[in-house]
Structure 1
Amino acid sequence: MSQHEEEIGVVDTGSLVRRWITYAVGIYLLTLGVSLAIKASIGISPQSSLTRTMTLVFPSMSQGTFNFVLELIMLLLTYLVMPKAFRLKNFLSLVPAFALATFLDLNLKLTHWIVVDAYAAKFLLLVFADATLAFGLFLMIRANLVLMPIDMFVHTIFKRTGWKWGNIKTAFDCTLLVTSAAVGLVSLGSPHFIREGTLINGILVGQYIRLYFFLFKHFSGKRERAGLG
């Protein structure tokens, strides 16, 4: 994953097998979080809202399929932004992208029975979903392996322009959100899956990841001190 200052001391530089297992578990938990957020039905992330909306426009195709198509588009855009820097190894990013699409469709089936009616229950489910999603992202960052095409595209824009990474990611998410709303408005008569939960997701996921970074460093430091003692 991309190396930000906050990731120093968190990424795993040990066994490659262990890191791939961590990465796979991270992908699974991420998709489980997405599935639970969808069941909360009070709004989901920009990326999920777009791919979920597409399943209403083309009901014969799954959300995982649309997610993989989006990743393919991002890989193409990555090439167009910096063609000379593009390498064959970049196609490896499609492997975790395919795994994510598969796990997403699996978890959507496994959670289909979940129905919540009370708003408080929906809110709590979304909070739990975001915590699960964020922990999946944390594990993927810790594994320090292959960037997903979407993340690769954002990182490529960062290298190409020198703009702040956070600003690029925010602009990218807003673009997905506007696209989702436009598709919903044109094809379905109104935007779908964009509600207060979309804003809550944007706030909570980042905060959860910061919390996981803090807890990992805190308890790692304790273990190191105990070992020295």
Structure 2
Amino acid sequence: MEHTTTADAGIIDNGNLVRRWATYIIGIYILTMGVSLAIRAGIGISPQSSLTRTMTLVIPGVSQGTFNFALEILMLVLAFAVMPKAFRWRNLLSLIPSAILASLLDFNLMITEWVAPGPYIAKLGLLVFADALLAFGLFLMIRANLVLMPIDLFVNTLHNKTGRKWGNLKTLFDCGLLIVSAGIGLIFLGAPQFIREGTILNALLVGQYIKLYTFVYSRTFGRRATAARAASAEVTAT
């Protein structure tokens, strides 16, 4: 999940908790469907996915969702190690959506096994669509404004510890995941796996899609909210 300051963009939902959790879980499902389709496109996936996917080749009996959950646990431990005094035990609650994400990822990988685009243009089109889904899932999770996933919590902890820009730290973190993924692939499989042009495309597209969704939402629903407030103020004044 991306760290963002979109509260000032007017997309954050601070209302009904049940609605927000529903939005969050729907967001996780859409995100994992996007990840699954990106994998099926076969021309490169995100740094996190490339690492966990590579591990399924190194240890074939373990699912990608399981490796993803293990990575989230590791990030939670590292967040504690970096700033133990700032760590709150409620941060452990982030393992609940992490477990949901892991289960939904494995489920979506199972139901998309039949997806195998042939021509390169079809693979490229599928990846662009997959990134749009992934970004929309992230957008919904951001809007729900509930729990930081452990990976984002770790980056956020580094941000608080060092004072460096969050986006720069996230870029360095993603590069680190790519290096680890490539290293594991090189050592155990003879070559890096799942790191191709689609990895770069993912890095470029996801952020832009989220900006697009934020813009469309703000323009559509922001105007309605402004109009409703104006009408309410007019009624109160009379």
**With structure 1 as the length reference, what TM-score do the two structures score?**
0.97
Structure of higher CA gyration radius: 2
- 1:148 maps to 149
Superposition map of 1:39-50 within 5 A: 39-50=40-51
Unmatched 5+ residue regions in structure 2? 232-238
Superposition map of 1:47-196 within 5 A: 47-196=48-197
Unmatched 5+ residue regions in structure 1? none
Matched, 1:221 2:233: no
Identity %, equivalent residues: 62
Distance 1:5 1:86, change over 3 A: closer
Distance 1:36 1:53 in 2: 16
- 2:7 maps to 7
- Which AA in structure 1 matches 2:85? K
Q: Does the Cα contact within 8 Å between 2:6 and 2:12 map onto a contact in 1?
A: no
Distance 1:20 1:68 in 2: 20
- Which AA in structure 1 matches 2:37? L
Three-state SS of the structure 2 residue aligned to 1:83 is coil
Q: Does the Cα contact within 8 Å between 1:7 and 1:213 map onto a contact in 2?
A: no
How far does residue 161 in structure 1 lie from its aligned partner after superposition?
0.6
- Which AA in structure 2 matches 1:205? V
How far does residue 224 in structure 1 lie from its aligned partner after superposition?
2.9
Distance 2:13 2:141 in 1: 10
- Which AA in structure 2 matches 1:74? M
Distance 1:107 1:7 in 2: 31
Three-state SS of the structure 1 residue aligned to 2:85 is helix
Distance 1:184 1:3, change over 3 A: closer
How far does residue 77 in structure 1 lie from its aligned partner after superposition?
0.1
Q: Does the Cα contact within 8 Å between 1:2 and 1:155 map onto a contact in 2?
A: no
How many correspondences in the alignment? 229
Distance 2:156 2:24 in 1: 19
